[in-house]
Chain A
């Protein structure tokens, strides 16, 4: 299958610090891939480059054959890339269903004058919005929370709501930033199954950032390992597990065992 996202020589610097260094990256359509690496390896920076929040100094990022680096975030989302955040960033004072409705923003077309006059097209569209929002909430199992303020939802529900909000924009590529952070083993297992199901139900390509090695190894078809902004390994889970450079990056530095530190330092909430 053709790659849906291709990054070539992407470099992002902050002053003297090189957060992402000459990164080449590809992800196939309909795949689930992960980016891993120790804290500060540049994973989230890379996500921010894809979604347009940062502009890389060098290199190109192509999405479905179109260059997107340097586009504004809203344009990129409209093209079909959606994301979630490591530390959940819902619109806290809006209700759950309103969060989903905001997610649909790029797929709606009517303007303020339609809203004031309540043109037939507007009424039709709002009905559709409402129906789809309920469908999405049903899908992720949050229908009972629909009219509750988003920041009053339980932690796991907030994570799922963030995914629903991202789905609402009808993405082709979904970026998940540590979707299992702060979850217990059972919730984590559910989330893994859920991510797989997401991919199949919505015909998505999914790119993850993860700290939890177990999650990464179970779910990913391809893993990219970053260290100090540079790609040090790439391949199938089994290959990565055996790769000496990866082991060094995780285990070689510091006294504590790298794998468990990485898990321990992942933000707990």
Chain B
């Protein structure tokens, strides 16, 4: 038997009809997407500048996703569970920012001392998110760390809804307006491209935060301990690492990123709502899976990829298919992508073979 025959025989043994159906299904979606793209590009009414703006917008949005995705990935890396409540941690960060900003605005500092105000707002948001995350970990996750896997998943969903509707009852069910900042109005010109100042700020801040996080995890003692705990909790405990402590710090780290994301999100959209964590939460999760869950650079890459894809998607794919009001289906694109990734590359772009390692 030559190489190809062997391989064919191997595939025939390993895969069955359901696999083939799944691939055909995936290929069908892919084909539709490609067809739509080609049609869109043939008939497009947008010029190259508009496309470039879509991309920039996607990058800034993607930065927010990436920051949230880091929280999913950090917690997953260490506890092998999805922290469903992470979207809500992001939302609480935004509320923390909102109230600080309102107070600063009232006192006249918001436009008087914009840079200082921003730093204060960021710190408050990070703290708020961290407090919420630590509470969630303490109440809903820690007592159940040894329970069957379905159990912490259920408490995570419970925590998510508790937080969401706590925010609704405390802060109201309507939209709360985030104060606009004089400094962030208008746009800057980068290589002939008009970029809104708040988008530019988002891109810069998210990159800085991620660089900081990467440094923290790679270089500091805590970061090393985190990686040790992720590798093997029991051995790490034997090495004198306080596992509970490290897990709490991981939650704080992830939550701080989510808090920053909450501020940036508010600065782009100028509104805060109890429900705002849900969709970005799922999308950030998609980003984390896309990059390979548990993988820090992967989460960042996944975030940007998803942001850009989502921003381009409706115009690029759906318009060519003749679908009216394609931006309504933005979320559908993201979710479809999640399914596609899980079908074709469940370990993500940069993911290691988690499944095999854990077996």
List B contacts of A71 (CB < 8 A): 13-14
Closest chain B residue to A60, Cβ basis: B6
Q: Does B47 reach chain A (CB closer than 8 Å)? A: no
Binary contact track B323-359/A, C-beta < 8 Å → 1, others 0? 0000000000000000000000000000001001101
Question: B residues 188-213 with Cβ under 8 Å of A?
Answer: none
A70 touches B13 (CB 8 A): yes
B347 to chain A, nearest CB (A): 13
List B contacts of A14 (CB < 8 A): 353, 356-357
B14 touches A70 (CB 8 A): yes
Closest chain A residue to B356, Cβ basis: A14
List A contacts of B14 (CB < 8 A): 55, 70-72
Q: Does A85 reach chain B (CB closer than 8 Å)? A: no
By size class, the interface of chain A is 10 to 19
Closest chain A residue to B15, Cβ basis: A72
Question: B residues 136-179 with Cβ under 8 Å of A?
Answer: none
List B contacts of A53 (CB < 8 A): 359
Q: How far is the CA of A72 from the CA of B14 in the complex (A)?
A: 6
> From DSSP, what is the main secondary structure of chain A's interface residues?
loop
B359 touches A70 (CB 8 A): no
Question: B residues 8-51 with Cβ under 8 Å of A?
Answer: 9-10, 13-14, 16
Interface centre among A14, A69, A70, A71 (most CB of B within 10 A): A70
> From DSSP, what is the main secondary structure of chain B's interface residues?
helix
Q: How far is the CA of A54 from the CA of B13 in the complex (A)?
A: 13
Closest chain B residue to A53, Cβ basis: B359
Question: A residues 41-67 with Cβ under 8 Å of B?
Answer: 48, 53-55, 67
List B contacts of A69 (CB < 8 A): 10, 13
A70 to chain B, nearest CB (A): 4
Closest chain A residue to B357, Cβ basis: A14
B207 to chain A, nearest CB (A): 31
A17 to chain B, nearest CB (A): 11
B353 to chain A, nearest CB (A): 8
List B contacts of A55 (CB < 8 A): 10, 14
Interface centre among B13, B356, B357, B359 (most CB of A within 10 A): B13
Closest chain A residue to B16, Cβ basis: A72
Q: How far is the CA of A18 from the CA of B246 in the complex (A)?
A: 32
B148 to chain A, nearest CB (A): 9
List A contacts of B359 (CB < 8 A): 48, 53-54
List B contacts of A67 (CB < 8 A): 9, 13
Q: How far is the CA of A67 from the CA of B6 in the complex (A)?
A: 12
Binary contact track B273-290/A, C-beta < 8 Å → 1, others 0? 000000000000000000
A70 touches B10 (CB 8 A): yes
Q: How far is the CA of A72 from the CA of B10 in the complex (A)?
A: 11
B11 to chain A, nearest CB (A): 8
Q: How far is the CA of A70 from the CA of B357 in the complex (A)?
A: 18
List B contacts of A54 (CB < 8 A): 356, 359
Q: How far is the CA of A15 from the CA of B353 in the complex (A)?
A: 9
Q: How far is the CA of A67 from the CA of B353 in the complex (A)?
A: 26
Q: Which 8 A-B pairs have the closest CB atoms?
A: A70-B13, A70-B14, A70-B10, A71-B13, A14-B356, A55-B14, A53-B359, A72-B14
Give residues in A with beta carbon < 8 Å to B: 14-15, 48, 53-55, 67, 69-72
6 contacts between A and B (CB under 8 A): A14-B356, A54-B356, A67-B9, A69-B10, A70-B14, A72-B16
